[in-house]
């Protein structure tokens, strides 16, 4: 079992344990009481803002990124700096994430919030909605078609948007079958943790017109963004470049072109 499959299995077990403590009906009740929803699709479609700014304390490839990690401060600063949305890691072992981080980001800003985690169970979709997320991540490489479709339908019931992540042509073709989903192309191979922007450029030809597409990982400069935009991407999910900066919001402004 590779690292990606191992993390996914661990998170599935976490979800099954959590459901014994908090039934899904309780999560649905909390989710349905939320008054505001924020659309990442709409934010990316306008074109005025294009960066999904990621928040994570650590990662398997980079180790500890931010010993002093304040999600509420980062979320507020990201919004002020012009982010289109925020991605929050909630995986606890490799990324040192927590539902508290997502809830803090939600309370601190009015941007669309993506729950970035290894989702394979419907319960995790309702967790995301109850915690305050607007979007959930589905990773095509660890989900078969039936599971991916079921999770996509569950997200619709929870009034969540979906970002489907692919790394290969086959995964992207599978992701395209999910109506209304944002298509993400991750230039990082989650099995080897190697990053190569050639992946995003190579798969751009498979992006359908009219669908919001997000390039993920390996984006370090404004030039990277401009070239990927020319290739057909409307959004850019940036994590380690921001998290390694002493002042991530200033790095975000620079990557945004000062807008």
pTM for the model stands at 0.95
Answer whether 104's CB lies under 8 Å from 88's CB.
Answer: no
- Chain centre to alpha carbon of residue 110: 16
Domains and CATH numbers, the chain: 3-255 (3.20.20.70)
- The predicted-structure confidence for 113-135, as pLDDT tens digits, reads as follows 999 999 999 999 999 999 999 99
Q: How confident is the model at residue 258 (pLDDT cuts 50, 70, 90)?
A: low
Half-sphere exposure of 62 (CA within 13 A, CB side): 20
Share of the chain above pLDDT 90, in %: 90
- Over residues 37-71, the pLDDT tens digits come to 999 999 999 877 899 999 999 998 889 999 999 99
Whole-angstrom CA distances from 46 to 42, 56, 114, 144, 226 are: 6, 27, 18, 32, 16
Contacts of 215 (CB under 8 A, 6+ apart): 184, 185, 187, 200, 228, 233, 235, 236, 237
248 burial (CB, 10 Å; 0-12 / 13-18 / 19+) is: buried
């Amino acid at each position: 079992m590779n690292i990606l499959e191992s993390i996914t299995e661990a998170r599935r077990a976490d979800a099954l344990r959590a459901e014994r403590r908090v039934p899904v009906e309780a999560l649905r009740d909390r989710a349905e009481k939320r008054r505001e929803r924020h659309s990442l699709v709409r934010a990316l479609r306008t074109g005025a803002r294009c960066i999904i700014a990621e928040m994570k304390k650590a990662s398997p490839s980079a180790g500890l990124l931010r010993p002093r990690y304040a999600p509420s401060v980062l979320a507020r600063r990201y919004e002020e700096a012009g982010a289109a949305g925020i991605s929050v890691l909630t995986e606890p072992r490799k990324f040192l994430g927590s539902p508290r981080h997502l809830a803090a980001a939600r309370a601190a800003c009015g941007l669309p919030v993506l729950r970035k985690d290894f989702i394979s169970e419907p319960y995790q979709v309702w967790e995301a909605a109850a915690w305050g997320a607007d979007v959930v991540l589905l990773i095509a490489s660890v989900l078969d078609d039936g599971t991916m479709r079921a999770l996509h339908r569950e997200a619709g019931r929870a009034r969540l948007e979906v970002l489907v992540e692919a790394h290969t042509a086959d995964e992207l073709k599978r992701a395209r079958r999910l109506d209304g989903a944002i298509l993400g192309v991750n230039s990082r191979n989650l099995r080897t943790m190697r990053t190569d922007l050639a992946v995003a450029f190579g798969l751009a030809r498979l992006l359908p017109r009219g669908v919001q597409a997000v390039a993920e990982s390996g984006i370090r400069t404004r030039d990277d963004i401009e070239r990927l935009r020319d290739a057909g991407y409307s959004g850019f999910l940036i994590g380690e470049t921001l998290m390694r900066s002493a002042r991530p919001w200033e790095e975000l402004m620079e990557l945004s072109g000062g807008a």
